[in-house]
């Protein structure tokens, strides 16, 4: 009976210890933000604003001061490795699908603060909350 109690206690202690370790390793969160929230973040923090659409899409319409890193590019992994993992990153694409996938890759790569523009540029292109540049 004493051995059974020891085993149960040891198991509970190991479970608690391992859950604490996991939380420390995976402390980055991906936060969906609205255009208004994104604008506030851009004004308050030193942020890397990344458009992960194709260069053609980026040339046609983009959020002002964004850099383009094509999620579909064969050099994508190398390109994101040039970003500063300690600085916040705001991602956007056309509708939110690619940026959600990219956010998970950044999280796995150790980025500390990741924001994802909810609904992508399509949802906000007519909003007065963010500055959009359109090719004329």
d(CA 67, CA 79): 11
| Confidence tier at 129 by pLDDT (50, 70, 90) | confident
Contact 36/124 with Cβ under 8 angstroms? Answer: no
The pair of structure tokens assigned to 80 is 């994101």
Residue 57 is predicted with a pLDDT of: 97
* Span 48-76, pLDDT tens digits: 999 999 999 999 999 999 999 999 999 99
**Pick among 3.40.250.10, 1.20.120.350, 3.40.1370.10, 3.30.420.40: CATH of 27-134:** 3.40.250.10
Beta-strand pair 132-134/61-63: antiparallel
Domain ranges of the chain: 27-134
Position with higher pLDDT, 100 vs 28: 100
* Span 7-47, pLDDT tens digits: 555 556 555 554 444 443 455 789 999 999 999 999 999 99
Contact 129/35 with Cβ under 8 angstroms? Answer: yes
| Confidence tier at 126 by pLDDT (50, 70, 90) | confident
Residue 29 is predicted with a pLDDT of: 86
* φ/ψ (deg, to 5) at 60: -75, -45
Catalytic residue set: 93
The single-letter DSSP state of residue 67 is E
The single-letter DSSP state of residue 135 is -
d(CA 70, CA 49): 13
Q: Which residues of 35-56 are buried (b: 16+ CB within 10 A; e: fewer)?
A: bebbbebbeeeebbbbbbbbee
Maximum CA extent, the chain: 80
Note the pTM of the prediction, 2 decimals: 0.78
């Amino acid at each position: 009976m004493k051995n059974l109690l020891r085993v149960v206690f040891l198991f509970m202690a190991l479970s608690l210890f391992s859950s604490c370790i996991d939380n420390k390793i995976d402390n980055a969160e991906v936060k969906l933000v609205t255009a208004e929230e994104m604008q506030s973040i851009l004004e308050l923090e030193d942020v890397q604003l990344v458009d992960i659409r194709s260069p053609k899409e980026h040339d046609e319409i983009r959020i002002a001061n964004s850099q383009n890193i094509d999620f579909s590019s064969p050099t994508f992994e190398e390109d994101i490795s040039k970003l500063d993992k300690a600085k916040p990153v705001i991602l956007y694409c056309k509708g939110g699908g690619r940026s959600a996938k990219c956010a998970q890759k950044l999280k796995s790569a150790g980025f500390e603060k990741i924001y994802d523009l909810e609904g992508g540029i399509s949802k906000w292109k007519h909003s007065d909350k963010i500055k959009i540049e359109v090719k004329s």
